[in-house]
Amino acid sequence: MSEATEASDDAAPKAGAARLSRDERRARLMILVGTILMLVGIALGVTDDDIGRFLIVGGVVTLFVALHRFGRLGAGGAAA
């Protein structure tokens, strides 16, 4: 294989990768934060900690908002 072919093969995945829009990055980050809050809340809630209950509720609310935003992006707004 020639050097030119190797260089174009290396650049192909980088050029072909779709960039996420700002709104999609934000929605995905909110999904991640909501999931982490909920899991930490569940871990604390097992010990009958009041803070865990608030974290679970906060995580679920954050997930609802994030999933709503993600769904509102539509098929064209979300990268495959």
In 3D space, the residue among 51, 47, 48, 71 whose CA is nearest the CA of residue 59 turns out to be 51
Q: Which two tokens stand for residue 39?
A: 């899991």
- Domain residue ranges of the chain, discontinuous segments joined by +: 21-77
When pLDDT is cut at 50, 70 and 90, the band that residue 56 belongs to is: very high
Q: What is the pLDDT of residues 26-45, one digit of tens each?
A: 989 999 999 999 999 999 98
**pTM (two decimals):** 0.66
